[in-house]
Amino acid sequence: MEKTLNRIHPVSDPEATYFLQVSWEKDLGTGFGLLLSDCQCAWTGTVSEEDISSEAADIEMDRGKYVEELRKALIAGEESAGRYNFVIS
C-alpha cells in the first residue's frame, strides 16, 4: 500500500492547517482511502473505483484524465501547490 501525507490550508479557513493522508493499493483509479486531521479531530473515508467512474461520467470527463487530476490534487504535493483549492465543510 502506498500513502502520502500533505499539509493543506483550505480556502474556507486559510489560517487553519489540516493534514490529508491518501492511501491506495495499485493506483488512485482503483479507489483510495482518505484521512483528514486538524490535529484535534480526524475524519476518514473511502472512494471506490465505482465512485471514481461515476464522478468522471457526471462531469463528462475522460476517466483517465479525471484520475490524473485526482492524483495532482490529492498526492502531488508541492508540484501542484496553488493549483487546487480545498474547502472544509
Of 1.20.140.10, 1.10.3720.10, 2.170.210.10, 3.30.43.10, the CATH number of 2-80 is 2.170.210.10
Q: How far apart are the first and last CA of the chain?
A: 28
pTM for the whole thing?
Answer: 0.84
7-27, pLDDT tens digit by residue?
988 898 889 999 999 999 988
- Structural domain boundaries in the chain: 2-80
- Looking at residues 38-47, what average pLDDT do you find? 96
Determine contact, residues 32/23, Cβ cutoff 8 Å: yes
Asked whether residue 82 carries a pLDDT value surpassing 90, the answer given is no
Q: Where are the alpha helices (DSSP H) in 26-81?
A: 49-58, 63-74
Q: Longest C-alpha distance within the chain, in Å?
A: 38
